[in-house]
Structure 1
Amino acid sequence: MTAATTARRNSRFWLYAPFGLLALLAIGWSALWFMARGKVEQHLDAGIAREAAAGRNWTCRDRSIGGYPFRIEVRCAGVTLVSSRWGDEVKIETGPAVAVAQATAPGHLILQATGPLTATLPAKQSGDLSWSALEASLRLTTTGFERISLVVRDPVATLRTPDGGDGNLRTESVRSALFEAHLRPNQQGYASQQAIDVALSTKGAILPVLDGLLGDAAPSDLDMQATVSQSFAFRRGFNPDALESWRTANGGVEITRLGLLRGAARLEASGRLGLDEAHRPAGQVDAAVAGIERVAGIRVGGLTAGLGALLGGRANAAQSNAAAGLTPLPPLVLREGRVFLGPLRLPLQPLRPLY
């Protein structure tokens, strides 16, 4: 073999070597992708089996797993949940849904779903939720989650409840132009109190409860920042067992800020809410308002006439609210299924037990 022949073969080797290496990488990546696909399918089947053992039966109609080569996509033609954990059967159905994760970042999931969502609820209630777009983002870790975010555009929620024994239904609806929710572990209280931080906001919301309190039907912008303690109770789902565990563990919602903008009206509030022994919402919220003349038909000026006695030691908060152009209200108290503003019981429907 001559030196010239050897040189030609060496040159050809380096000419074709990159293509061979690329082919090997493609084969290796394909093997890894199909292994990951198999693990995702196993985890889904195991998760569905665990949920069924807990009384929650999930169905992903026409499930498919794809996304090769750089993503893992789980698609369902429709999603159904049937649960008996509320006593009566609860059935929830929605349209097509997809969950996507990049193969290089499997802990970050993006979920999208097509509405409407329909629900058959206990006590012969039913409801539905529609939207123009719904997307959720989940950043998961080996020990839990780092952040969960949900964005819903143009949501409309309707609840239908039997009104008497004549077969008529009472319909209540709320709507919004945009709704967002964000959850993350609380840095100080997650280990000791299982506390998570929650941020909720909605734009252009039509809320009948506020319409009745404030006497008009103007759209509202709301945002709330809160901390929920004893959140591990909800690892088993949102059902009577979980709510009762949360209540008995002294779980609560600490509202650090609640803001409302409604035309010229403005409200800022904070407080704590939980559940009483009859499973009804209970607690106290301290609020201050501007641009609101009446609450449930009662003049704000009359409510604040005896403010000093009603607020007790909250003089500093009152001064701070005054400096911000806000008029502090007497405490809003939820007690024994009724809603009180200071000593006055508001003319609202009694609060119903959640379970």
Structure 2
Amino acid sequence: MVPSMTSMTLPSDTPRPRSRWPLFAIPILLLIAAAAWSAFWFYAVSQAEVKADAWRAQEAKSGRRYDCAKQSISGYPFRLEVRCDGARVALTSQTAGAASAPVTIDLGEILAVAQIYDPKLLIAEFKSPATISETANAPAMQVSWSVARSSVVGLPAIPQRASIVFDDVGIDRVNNNAVQVPVARAKHVELHGRLAEGSTAKDPIIESVLKIEAGSAQDVHPVLARPFGADIHAKLIGLKDLTPKPWPQRFRELQAGGGQVEIVQSRIQQDDLIAIAAGSLGLNAQGQINGELQMTVTGLEKIIPALGIEKMLEDGVPQATLDRVAPGVRSQDVTNLLGALDKAIPGLGKVVKQNANAGVAAGINALGTAATLEGKPARTFPLRFADGTVYLGPLKVGQVPPLF
């Protein structure tokens, strides 16, 4: 039997086609987000350029001018990469008496990188070498390295921390004949600085750490010509602000306010000679260093010949020095005796001078007190700075130029 048409059930609604708008919603949202992020990135770039121009203007007022032959910004979408080709830094009035002798530093390239989501952290890399010159005809200094990086935390406001690191750094003097004369070398150099905890912008205290591995310097003092390592922790106390200004002006303000550098801890090692020191240094009204560091030294007798004792004997020993290390001996008697010995037996005076070096070392030991440093016999004595002159015990061992 065939069912009737009336008994059959028919669907009340026919199937409707599904809406396709969700398929396009996600791409549209992603496109909007990408456009918004792009706008934000380009806005961040423009703000970075504005802040960089303002910073350069401030630095220029302080005698530090920064220029780029070619500058580009990249790093989209998550970074800001500022590349400066043909970088040049012109410094004026940054050292005592330097107003008429500006210093120019030329670098090949500087690359500064900041994350778009953390613009207060800036990391920079520097391409070797750098050339430092005062005038077109004066000998230039060339600084080279394998790696040079720096980081600054706290920009664009007052930096909270800053660091710079060099590997395989060398400094050479280049004369007019393009001949390079070594000045300084180091396998590794680190310099770190930060605002001390509790420090404020109106009363800043800066903590710094300097580390040197396998360093040597040819033009500073004969003692530093052999490789040495150094680890120095210091505090700069007495600054009134951190606004950009020439260094001589800042040093004057530091002196006027009774500021000082506190050497919290320092350690220097050269072969088996080890020296640690701590103390405070300040400035007098003429910009010369005054102060005293308490030193403990092992192997002191090996450093005495490098301090120039022999030359001091050749030039004549000051009576005040002899009174300290050899009471009752007249300066003129020593000079005449050495000359007479050389005339009688050539070379004999040199032997006497070498023995005199040992005698002076014994005199210095007598001034200090016995101590032990890292399990080795040592002596403790003051390293004094008086109007820029450096004294090791009774001996003048160096002269520091005024800072303003």
Same fold at TM > 0.5: yes
1:181 CA drift (Å):
0.8
**Partner amino acid, structure 1, of 2:217:** L
Provide the rounded CA distance (Å) in 2 between the counterparts of 1:3 and 1:328. 104
**Matches of residues 310-321 of structure 1 in structure 2 within 5 Å?**
321=372
Provide the rounded CA distance (Å) in 2 between the counterparts of 1:96 and 1:65. 13
* 2:121 and 2:155 in contact (8 A); partners too: no
Question: 2:190 aligned with 1:180, yes or no?
Answer: yes
Please list the CA deviations of residues 146-175 of structure 1 after superposition, one character each: whole Å capped at 9, or x if unmatched.
21111111111246899xxxxxx9967111
Q: Unpaired runs of 5+ in structure 1?
A: 163-168, 309-317
Residue of structure 2 equivalent to 1:255: 263
Question: 2:79 aligned with 1:71, yes or no?
Answer: yes
Please list the CA deviations of residues 111-137 of structure 1 after superposition, one character each: whole Å capped at 9, or x if unmatched.
111122222238967433221111001
Residue of structure 2 equivalent to 1:213: 223
Residue of structure 1 equivalent to 2:213: 203
Structure label with greater radius of gyration: 2
1:253 CA drift (Å):
1.2
TM-score, normalization by structure 1 = 0.82
Provide the rounded CA distance (Å) in 2 between the counterparts of 1:322 and 1:51. 45
**Partner amino acid, structure 1, of 2:385:** L
Q: Does the C-alpha gap of structure 1 residues 43 and 343 become closer, same or farther in structure 2, counting only changes over 3 Å?
A: same
SS of alignment partner, residue 279 of structure 1: coil
Q: Does the C-alpha gap of structure 1 residues 238 and 179 become closer, same or farther in structure 2, counting only changes over 3 Å?
A: farther
Q: Does the C-alpha gap of structure 1 residues 121 and 107 become closer, same or farther in structure 2, counting only changes over 3 Å?
A: same
Residue of structure 1 equivalent to 2:171: 157
Please list the CA deviations of residues 329-349 of structure 1 after superposition, one character each: whole Å capped at 9, or x if unmatched.
321111123221123323x4x
* 1:96 and 1:114 in contact (8 A); partners too: yes
Equivalent pairs counted in the alignment come to: 332
Q: Which structure would you say has the larger RCO, counting Cα contacts within 8 Å and 6 or more residues apart?
A: 2
* 1:111 and 1:136 in contact (8 A); partners too: yes
Question: 2:144 aligned with 1:144, yes or no?
Answer: no
Provide the identity percentage. Answer: 28
SS of alignment partner, residue 280 of structure 2: strand
**Partner amino acid, structure 1, of 2:365:** T
What do you get for the CA RMSD once the two structures are aligned? 3.1
Please list the CA deviations of residues 198-243 of structure 1 after superposition, one character each: whole Å capped at 9, or x if unmatched.
01101111134787238xx542111100101134566324532222
**Partner amino acid, structure 1, of 2:168:** D
Question: 2:145 aligned with 1:131, yes or no?
Answer: yes
Q: Does the C-alpha gap of structure 1 residues 324 and 218 become closer, same or farther in structure 2, counting only changes over 3 Å?
A: same
Residue of structure 2 equivalent to 1:105: 118
Residue of structure 2 equivalent to 1:315: none
**Partner amino acid, structure 2, of 1:244:** R
Residue of structure 2 equivalent to 1:120: 133
SS of alignment partner, residue 194 of structure 1: coil
**Partner amino acid, structure 2, of 1:235:** T
**Partner amino acid, structure 1, of 2:116:** A
Q: Unpaired runs of 5+ in structure 2?
A: 1-12, 306-356
